[in-house]
Structure 1
Amino acid sequence: MNTRLTKTLASVTLLLAVLSGLAFIGTAITHMADDGAVCVETGFWANTEVAPDSLPIGKGVEATGSGTRLCQDDPSVGQRAADLGGELPWLLFGSVVLLLFSRLLDAVVDKGPFTETVARRLSTLGWVVTAGVPLASLVVGSSRSWLVGSMAPVAGSGLEMSGTLELVLAGLAAVVMGKIMREGVRMREDLEGTI
C-alpha cells in the first residue's frame, strides 16, 4: 500500500472539504446581503410560443426567453432564501462527503485498510451519500419550484427533485462494502484467536 499517496490524497480531500465549507458560508452570507435581482430558470413555458410580456407573472417580475428565465427585481426575503436553497445544499453535501472521505483515508493510513474503523467509516460515508443525495435534490428542486411559483403562480408545483440520483447506488455500494469488510475483520479476528 502506498501510504504517501494515500496521505496526500487525504490532505487534498480535507482541503477540498474545507474550501467547499467556506464556499457554503461565503455564498450564504454574500447572497443574503445582496440587494440585486433573483433569477430562476423554468421549463413551464418552454414548448409554447408565448410572448414574455403576455405571461401570467407577478408584479416586478421580468420574463425572458419565452418565459424560461424569470427575474424578480426587488425580491422578498423568502425569495432570496429560496434562491439560496437552489445553490447551497449541494455545496454542503459535497463538503460533508469530502470530509468523511478524508477521515476514511486517514483511518486507512493510521490503522490499515482492513480494520473495523475503516469498515465503519466506509459504511457511514455510504449512508450519508445514500440519504444526502435525495435530500439535497429535494431541497434544491423544491426551492426552485417555490421560487418559480412566487414569481409566476401558475408555474410553481410544490415538491420537486433536482439532480441525478445515481449517486444513491454508489452510497449503497459503500454501505454493502463496509458491511462485508466488517464481517471480514471479524472473521480474521476469530481466526487469529483460534491459532
Structure 2
Amino acid sequence: MNTRLTRALASVTLFLALLGGLAFAGKAITHMLDDGAICVKTDFWANASLGPEGLPVAEGVKATSSTARLCQDSPSTGQRAAELGGALPWLLFAAVAMLLFSRLLDGVVQKGPFTETVARRLSVLGWFVVVGMPVAGLVVGWSHSWLVGSMAPIVGSGPTFAGSMEFVFAGLAAVIMGRIMRQGVRMREDLEGTI
C-alpha cells in the first residue's frame, strides 16, 4: 500500500474541507451584511403567454422574462436568509463530507486499511451522505420555493427537492462496505485468537 500517496490525499482532502468551511462562513457573513438586491430564477411561467400587465409579482419586485428572474431591491431578512439557504447547505455538506473522508484516509494511514477504525469511519461517512444529501436538497429546494413565493405570491409552490439522489446510493454502498469490513476485521481477530 502506498502510504505516501494516501497521506498526501488525506492532506488534500483536509485542506479542501477547511477551504469549504471558510467559504461557508465567508459567504454567510458577507451575504447577511450585504444590503443589495437579491435575485431568484423560476420557470413557473415558461409556457405562459403574458399580457401587457406582465408577470403577477409582489410590489418592489422586477421580473425580466417568462422564465423569470425575479429581483427584489430591498429584501426582508427572511428573503435574504432564504436566498442564502439556496447555496450554503451544499457548501456545508461538501465541507463535512471532505472532512469525514480525510479522517477515513488518516485512519488508513495510521492503522491500515482493514481495521475497526477504518470500517467505522467508512460507515460514518456513508451515513452522513445518506442523510445529509436529502436534507441539504430539501433545505435548498424549500429556500428557493419560499423565496419565489415571497416575490411572486401567485406561484405559491410547496417545498421542492434540489439535487440528485445518486450520492445516496454511494452513501449506502459505503455503509454496507463498512459493515462488511467490520465483520471481516472481527473474523480476522477471531482467527488470530485461535491460532
Structure 2: distance between partners of 1:190 and 1:51: 77
Is the contact made by 1:41 and 1:68 (CA closer than 8 Å) also made in structure 2?
yes
Measured after TM superposition, the shift of residue 158 of structure 1 is: 2.2
Is the contact made by 1:63 and 1:69 (CA closer than 8 Å) also made in structure 2?
yes
Structure 2: distance between partners of 1:137 and 1:7: 32
**Aligned equivalent of 2:119:** 119
Secondary structure of 1:54's match?
A: coil
**Aligned equivalent of 2:40:** 40
Aligned pairs for 1:8-27 (under 5 A) are: 8-27=8-27
**Aligned equivalent of 1:192:** 192
Closer/same/farther in 2, CA of residues 51 and 88 from structure 1, 3 Å limit: farther
Secondary structure of 1:70's match?
A: strand
Is the contact made by 2:101 and 2:125 (CA closer than 8 Å) also made in structure 1?
yes
Aligned pairs for 1:1-195 (under 5 A) are: 1-50=1-50, 53-195=53-195
Secondary structure of 2:82's match?
A: helix
Is the contact made by 2:126 and 2:170 (CA closer than 8 Å) also made in structure 1?
yes
Structure 2: distance between partners of 1:76 and 1:32: 11
Measured after TM superposition, the shift of residue 48 of structure 1 is: 1.8
Q: Please give the TM-score of this superposition, normalised by the length of structure 1.
A: 0.98
The letter of the residue matching 1:130 is: V
* Count of aligned residue pairs for this structure pair: 195
Secondary structure of 2:71's match?
A: strand
Cα displacement string for residues 54-113 of structure 1 (whole angstroms, at most 9, x for unaligned residues): 211000100012252111111000000000000100000000000000000000000000
Secondary structure of 2:40's match?
A: strand
Greater shift, 66-75 or 165-174, is seen at 66-75
Q: Please give the TM-score of this superposition, normalised by the length of structure 2.
A: 0.98
Secondary structure of 1:62's match?
A: strand
The letter of the residue matching 1:188 is: R
Report percent identity of matched pairs: 71
Unpaired runs of at least 5, structure 2: none
Secondary structure of 2:160's match?
A: coil
Greater shift, 158-167 or 5-14, is seen at 158-167
Flag as ranges the 4+ runs of structure 1 deviating above 6 A. Answer: none
